[in-house]
Amino acid sequence: MDPYRISNQQKPPPPPPPAQAKQKKQAPATGQNTSPGMQAPKKNQTTTQLQPVDTFGPRAPGASTQGPAAPGTGGANGTKKQMGPYVPGHEPKIEVQNPGTQPASAGQQPAQTGKEEEKEKEKENPLTKGLDTSVTVNQNYQDGKERAATWKANREAGNSRTKSLGLGIKDNFTQSIADGKNPKDLDTRMGWAGKVNNLIKLGTGVSGLAMGKEGVGDGKLAKAWDAATGGLTNGTAEERNAALNDLGDFGKTVTETAKAGLETGRDLQKYASAYRAASNSLKADAPGLNDTGRRSLAHNIAKTTFNKVDAGDELNGKKFNDLYLENRTAAKNIGSTAHQHSANQTRKVLGMGADKGFKAADNALKAGIHAGAKAAGSGLAKAAGRFVPGANVAIAAFDTAKAISTWNSKSSNPGEIITAGITALGSIAAATNIPVVSQVGAAVSSVSDFVGSFF
In terms of domains, do 301 and 354 share one?
Answer: yes
Buried b (16+ CB within 10 A) or exposed e, 313-341: beeeeeebeebbeebbebbbebbbebbeb
pLDDT digit string, tens, across residues 17-56 = 555 544 444 444 444 444 444 444 444 444 444 455 454 4
Q: Does residue 162 sit in the same domain as residue 262?
A: yes
Least Cα distance to 430 among 407, 399, 385 occurs for 399
CA-to-CA dists, residue 7 to 32, 67, 77, 80, 280, angstroms = 25, 15, 11, 11, 99
Contact 452, 423 (CB under 8 A): yes
Q: What is the pLDDT of residues 241-286, one digit of tens each?
A: 899 999 999 999 999 999 999 999 999 999 999 999 999 999 988 8
If asked whether residues 188 and 218 sit together in one domain, one would say yes
pLDDT classification of 85: cutoffs 50, 70, 90: low
Q: Is residue 232 part of a domain?
A: yes
Q: What pLDDT, in 10s, does the model give residues 362-412?
A: 899 999 999 999 999 999 999 999 999 999 999 999 999 999 999 998 888
- 172 and 235 in one domain? yes
Residue 193 located in a structural domain: yes
Q: Is residue 170 part of a domain?
A: yes
**Domain end among 321, 348, 376:** 376
Tell whether 427 is covered by a domain.
Answer: yes
Q: What is the pLDDT of residue 347?
A: 66
Mean pLDDT of the chain: 78
Do 241 and 171 belong to one domain? yes
How far apart are alpha carbons 391 and 132 in whole angstroms? 16
**Domain coverage including residue 200:** 130-266+379-452
Domain boundary among 323, 343, 376: 376
Answer whether residue 310 is part of any domain: yes
Q: Which of 354, 376, 398 is the last residue of a domain?
A: 376
Distance of alpha carbon 36 from alpha carbon 28, whole angstroms = 13
Do 260 and 302 reside in the same domain of the chain?
A: no
Residues 352 and 400 occupy one common structural domain: no
**pLDDT at residue 105, rounded to an integer:** 46
Give how many domains the chain has, as a whole number: 2
